[in-house]
A and B are shown apart, each in its own frame.
Chain A
Amino acid sequence: MFTFGGYFDFVSTESRRVLSRLVHRVGFGPKPGQFQTMLAKGFSASVSDLVYSARPAYGDVKVVLGITDLGPQPAPNSEAVVQYADSKRGQLRAISLWWLDQMVGQDFPFHERMTWFWHGHWATSYAKVDEPVVMFDHVDRLRQHATADFGEMCEAMTIDAALIYWLDGQLNSAKSPNENLARELMELFTLGVNRYTEVDIKEASKALAGWQVVKSSGLVYRNVNRTFNGSTAILGRTDNFDAVSLARFLSQQPACQRFIPERLWFRFISSTTTPAVGSDIEIAFAQRQILPAIVAMVQSEAFADPQNDLVKSPLEWLVAVLRALRITPSTYAQPDSLLSLLTALGQRPLFPPNVGGWPGDEVWLSASAAQTQIQAAQTLCSRGDLTPVTSVPASARVDALADWLGVAGWCDRTRSVLNGAVSDPRRLVTLAICSPDYVVNQ
């Protein structure tokens, strides 16, 4: 059957699938028309457009948004504390919506997608940091390094104020070490669990000791009364390690070359399998450059393997829907409702649940989440721009919907339900974005 506006007749299912994965996993889903362009251009050109897109010029975001050091908290029940709390809430809100705007607004949001990935990797929460400017700087640091040199990223993050505070680095002194940061640095950030010994952790926490944080500004400084003077033996090397040289050293470990591809695999390919030892992704990561590892990943057979479907996490789902419906978060009728929605779904940016980051796949698929997504979908579809389906004849809408939303294809069950809703665009789109075919990236 000829379907106007759809590429089903011209493009193979395999091509649609891998392009759908590219645009949803390495980007945040297509803007209207983008998926058709990708179908027309093919995979290689689409990878280039997305992954080699220029890093946007962000400007002086802190000045524009008015993100400042709010100073120490005034006394309880004082007048000043009310003002202080208002400013804090306002700044947190501004940062959160600005970040959503970047994800939704950029044509090729690869840098934001990777910043989001690293936010879940170096998972640090505002819930403890409690200072907007410090969290902004933390995420901005992730953004600086998001697609570049992982060793440099490690050096920068090991002395990042939010991360130090989050993992009690400021309580760590050589005389009474706090192992929290050293443990997570090895287990969750660079090497992977059990690829070190407890002695390595004790020694590493000595090397990391002495970095303290001015809580309100995020200024980090080395308190020489708390640092360790002398050499430490870590992972077989004895040296005068300090925080920065330790971070670099860890990034150079063979375990790191294995670990980072595993984490990329978990978020972008499959949460149930792991990459083969010596995979192309590992090889591409030999120099600890992030971009080549991503390119190797999207070009791997596994990225195209039909078995490797992946659940869109709540943030990924919402951002993809907003992009499709041309809704800008900060100018939306009720911007705060978007943040509340993400809180209700358990994935508000800047609030990862723990240092392990957000879970993946099935955990997101609860009855409560389904209810929340269905309700949100109804509201968003009543406010968003549905032109991509309303502008085509009813008979062409189901295929146009797949192209608009960047879906590889509708399963028979979904297609039949959608076919019954073509005369009611709002219901049609609501059903499409709540369908298993969309919630799970095929």
Chain B
Amino acid sequence: MSSLTRRSFIKWAGAGAVAAQTVSFADIARAAERRALPQGTPVLVVVTLYGGNDGLNTVIPYTDSVYHSLRPQLAYREDQVLPIGENLGLNRSMSGLKTLWDNGQLAIVRGVGYPRPDRSHFSSMAIWQTASRTGVKSGWLGRWVESQPVDPFLAISLGSTLPPLLAGTKRSGTVLPLNGLRVPSGTLATDLARLSVEGSADSRLMATASRSVRDLFAVGNTVSPILKNPAPPAADLPTAIGGNAGGESNLAAQLDVVAKLIAAGAPTRVWSVSLGGFDTHANEQAVQSTLLGALSTSITKFMSQMRAVNQSSNVTMLIYSEFGRRVRANASQGTDHGTSGPVFLVGGGVAGGFHGEQPSLHQLKDDDMAVTIDFRSVYASVLEHVLLTPSDRVLDTAMPKLPLFVR
């Protein structure tokens, strides 16, 4: 595991100009050793689906007459789904996830949400990401970051800005743009490195400012060469013929970066990626199945890459959206903002199968499904089993845990 840090720090120091003049290589190597993930440390990959994914057309109660009567134009028939038991079927675009389900590596938690659901994308996503509705501004994983020793590699989000879930009060996760951090080069880089050397007279803020530039060199120099490497092979996947003509979705690109870095032994325990576009108020079937297909394909490929580098039993993926959608279709073949929805967990260590109760369509309140599982119970289980941290420290409340993991 420490090979990444050691190799890249050697590279960094060897590349010379920048580090050699500023920081002792021995110091860095020691820090790298301390930071390296012990063998077999679990890793969490959070996949946020922005827009409110329609859970009912993801895990489909295809035999339910209410389902068909409330959304006749949108409902899928039995021959249009991938049955997974209990009269439920996966959206037919998710054949990859169906395979993971068959292999016991997909756990589906049903009816997940929170009491008195908020229908605003913004507010509901804030509730999910902060795990609070009392005005707490820090994200649940940001609070976890703050409970750990300082390390810029600890939690990394792919994309351009830090998602609220990784924001802490004083410290946050690291944002890694998709193409990596572009570390300055040449004389400017040498000067910037000198400009960011730790100074004994620095105020707290000055010290943080110079650390941010040092982090840029540390993370950027470590990550950039790895991103130039080919991604790990997904050897056990059959070669697709004809499909996937549209090229990679953005999620696939993000997960490819994550796969490269995990394969290289990154000392990162939380990764955050996302896919947008689930706000399907109109023409839902076409849009959603495209997105779910991209989701399924990227996740399947990623897990296959993890198997190729012997990491599949360490990696857990958590896939959620800010709310489900209303049962009744609207007038434009879409659905409006609803309440609960399924949460997926994928990985070698998850207890595959159904968890939680499917909300009944015969006891709707204002056409909305009930919430049968509080999402914080899912977080609590993930915190304890994947991040090895007492969940009440992060969630500020003791939540019942779910048997989502086999170990």
Q: How far is the CB of A377 from chain B (nearest CB, A)?
A: 10
Are A434's CB and B120's CB within 8 A? Answer: no
Known: A309-B203, A427-B187. A436 touches B182 (CB 8 A): no
Are B120's CB and A168's CB within 8 A? Answer: yes
Chain A CB within 8 A of B210 CB: yes
Report B-chain residues with C-beta under 8 Å of the C-beta of A363.
Answer: 167, 172
Q: How far is the CB of B14 from chain A (nearest CB, A)?
A: 21
Are B122's CB and A366's CB within 8 A? Answer: no
Are B191's CB and A368's CB within 8 A? Answer: no
A interface footprint on B312-354 (CB within 8 Å = 1, 0 otherwise): 0000000000000000000010000000000000000000000
Chain A CB within 8 A of B364 CB: no
Chain A CB within 8 A of B19 CB: no
Are B181's CB and A368's CB within 8 A? Answer: yes
Chain A CB within 8 A of B365 CB: no
Report A-chain residues with C-beta under 8 Å of the C-beta of B199.
Answer: 411-413
Are A436's CB and B332's CB within 8 A? Answer: no
Chain A CB within 8 A of B215 CB: yes
Report B-chain residues with C-beta under 8 Å of the C-beta of A437.
Answer: 206
Report B-chain residues with C-beta under 8 Å of the C-beta of A430.
Answer: 188
Count B-side interface residues using an 8 Å CB cutoff.
50
Distance of A125 Cα from B202 Cα, bound (Å): 36
With both beta carbons as reference points, the residue of chain B lying nearest to A193 in the complex is identified as B135
Within 8 A of A (CB), among B168-199: 170-172, 174-177, 181-184, 187-188, 191-192, 194-197, 199
Within 8 A of B (CB), among A425-442: 427, 430-431, 434-437, 439-440
Q: Which range contains the number of A residues in contact with the other chain?
A: 35 or more
Report A-chain residues with C-beta under 8 Å of the C-beta of B170.
Answer: 362
Are A371's CB and B195's CB within 8 A? Answer: no
Distance of A427 Cα from B190 Cα, bound (Å): 11
B interface footprint on A333-355 (CB within 8 Å = 1, 0 otherwise): 00000000001101000000110
Distance of A366 Cα from B209 Cα, bound (Å): 8
Chain A CB within 8 A of B160 CB: yes
Q: How far is the CB of A269 from chain B (nearest CB, A)?
A: 13
A interface footprint on B280-296 (CB within 8 Å = 1, 0 otherwise): 00110000000000000
Within 8 A of B (CB), among A306-344: 307, 309-311, 343-344
Are B203's CB and A362's CB within 8 A? Answer: no
Checking B161, B215, B283 against A370 with a beta-carbon cut-off of 8 angstroms, the contacting residue is B215
Within 8 A of B (CB), among A368-382: 368-371, 374-375, 378
Are A436's CB and B162's CB within 8 A? Answer: no
Report A-chain residues with C-beta under 8 Å of the C-beta of B219.
Answer: 367
Chain B CB within 8 A of A421 CB: yes
Known: A76-B282, A414-B195. A369 touches B212 (CB 8 A): yes
With both beta carbons as reference points, the residue of chain B lying nearest to A127 in the complex is identified as B122
Distance of A437 Cα from B213 Cα, bound (Å): 13
Are A371's CB and B181's CB within 8 A? Answer: yes
Chain B CB within 8 A of A244 CB: no
Checking A127, A356, A371, A421 against B216 with a beta-carbon cut-off of 8 angstroms, the contacting residue is A371
Are A365's CB and B208's CB within 8 A? Answer: yes
Report A-chain residues with C-beta under 8 Å of the C-beta of B122.
Answer: 125, 127-128, 354
Q: How far is the CB of B207 from chain A (nearest CB, A)?
A: 8
Chain B CB within 8 A of A359 CB: yes
With both beta carbons as reference points, the residue of chain A lying nearest to B157 in the complex is identified as A368
Report A-chain residues with C-beta under 8 Å of the C-beta of B181.
Answer: 367-368, 371
Distance of A361 Cα from B182 Cα, bound (Å): 24
Checking A354, A366, A436, A439 against B172 with a beta-carbon cut-off of 8 angstroms, the contacting residue is A366
Known: A367-B152, A367-B219. A356 touches B191 (CB 8 A): no
With both beta carbons as reference points, the residue of chain B lying nearest to A413 in the complex is identified as B199
Distance of A311 Cα from B220 Cα, bound (Å): 23
Residue of A125, A368, A416, A420 with most chain B CB atoms under a 10 A cut-off? A368
Within 8 A of B (CB), among A387-441: 411-414, 416-417, 420-421, 424, 427, 430-431, 434-437, 439-440
Chain A CB within 8 A of B401 CB: no
Chain A CB within 8 A of B164 CB: yes
Are B206's CB and A440's CB within 8 A? Answer: yes
Q: How far is the CB of B287 from chain A (nearest CB, A)?
A: 11
Chain A CB within 8 A of B241 CB: no
Are A436's CB and B209's CB within 8 A? Answer: yes
Are A370's CB and B216's CB within 8 A? Answer: yes
Distance of A354 Cα from B123 Cα, bound (Å): 9
Distance of A283 Cα from B135 Cα, bound (Å): 29
Chain A CB within 8 A of B126 CB: yes
A interface footprint on B113-156 (CB within 8 Å = 1, 0 otherwise): 00000001010001000000001010000000000000010000
Distance of A363 Cα from B220 Cα, bound (Å): 19
Checking A128, A367, A378 against B188 with a beta-carbon cut-off of 8 angstroms, the contacting residue is A378
Known: A168-B120, A354-B122, A359-B137. A431 touches B191 (CB 8 A): yes
Residue of B181, B183, B191 with most chain A CB atoms under a 10 A cut-off? B191
Distance of A354 Cα from B164 Cα, bound (Å): 10
Chain A CB within 8 A of B201 CB: yes
Are A367's CB and B215's CB within 8 A? Answer: yes
Report A-chain residues with C-beta under 8 Å of the C-beta of B220.
Answer: 367, 371
With both beta carbons as reference points, the residue of chain A lying nearest to B213 in the complex is identified as A370
Chain B CB within 8 A of A187 CB: yes
With both beta carbons as reference points, the residue of chain A lying nearest to B281 in the complex is identified as A76
With both beta carbons as reference points, the residue of chain A lying nearest to B214 in the complex is identified as A367
Report A-chain residues with C-beta under 8 Å of the C-beta of B218.
Answer: 367
Report B-chain residues with C-beta under 8 Å of the C-beta of A371.
Answer: 177, 181-183, 216, 220
Distance of A14 Cα from B334 Cα, bound (Å): 64
Distance of A362 Cα from B168 Cα, bound (Å): 10
Q: How far is the CB of A271 from chain B (nearest CB, A)?
A: 9
Distance of A127 Cα from B174 Cα, bound (Å): 24
Chain A CB within 8 A of B68 CB: no
Are B205's CB and A310's CB within 8 A? Answer: yes
7 chain-A/chain-B pairs, Cβ below 8 angstroms: A193-B135, A311-B209, A354-B122, A366-B174, A367-B152, A375-B182, A420-B191
The list of the 7 closest CB pairs from A to B, nearest first, reads A367-B215, A436-B209, A368-B175, A367-B216, A365-B212, A370-B212, A370-B216
